Amino acid sequence: MFDSHLRSTGTQYTITAALLIVAFIFSPAVLMASRPVGYVSVSFAIACSTALVALAWMNWKKYSDLTIPSIVTKS
């Protein structure tokens, strides 16, 4: 996700940040707030967080590619 060759284009990163916040903050908070914590709820929370991180990764890769042809080095 933090590859030095992928430069920020300055757009569309709000969704990526929101997905990561939900995955790492909201999902564990909901898990801790639900008192009867068992294997099923922990597994569900881990699966949801993993899916959200995967969606954030795909969103990051989609919008972090450089599209300006003038940046390409000349041979």
Total tally of structural domains belonging to the chain: 1
pTM: predicted TM-score of the whole model, two decimal places: 0.67
Does 3 fall in a domain? no
Identity of residue 10: G
Is there a contact between 20 and 56 (Cβ–Cβ < 8 Å)? yes
- Is residue 2 in some structural domain? no
Q: 36 in a domain, yes or no?
A: yes
The residue behind tokens 């940046």 is: 71
Cα–Cα separations (whole angstroms), residue 28 to 3, 10, 51, 75: 27, 29, 14, 50
The burial of 41, by beta-carbon neighbours within 10 Å (0-12 exposed, 13-18 middle, 19 or more buried), is given as: middle
The parent domain of residue 55 ranges over 14-63
Instruction: Give, for all 75 residues of the chain, the pLDDT tens digit.
Output: 555 555 555 556 788 889 999 999 998 888 888 877 788 888 888 999 999 999 999 988 887 765 555 555 555
pLDDT value of position 73:
58
